[in-house]
Amino acid sequence: MEPLHSMQTAAWLLGIGAAGGLLMAGVRFTGQSNPPTWLAMVHGLIGAAALTLLIYAWWTVGLPAGAQLAVILLLVAAAAAPR
């Protein structure tokens, strides 16, 4: 596995997850109390998959310093997210 391929795949997954997050924000701004459950679950699953891929790549082949910082920031954001 090459770090570049892992980071590209994770970037695509994070982009899809971000689009889902924007969609959920749009649902909230339209006045509904909560977004659909399936959307929230897919959003979390995709984000977790991207983060897991980055951690695995860091553990096995290593990542550049900027990517390592991004993984740490994603872990902090995931820990601080409301449940």
Nearest to 3 by CA among 48, 62, 68: 62
pLDDT score recorded for residue 45? 96
Instruction: Please spell the DSSP secondary structure of 33-67, one letter per residue.
Output: SS--HHHHHHHHHHHHHHHHHHHHHHHHT---HHH
Q: What is the pLDDT of residues 8-64, one digit of tens each?
A: 999 999 999 999 999 999 999 999 889 999 999 999 999 999 999 999 999 999 889
pTM: 0.86
pLDDT band at 76 (very low <50, low <70, confident <90, very high): very high
Amino acid at 75: L
pLDDT score recorded for residue 2? 80
Triad 83, 13, 39: Cα angle to 5° = 45
Could you give the CA distance from residue 49 to residue 82 in angstroms, rounded to a whole number? 19
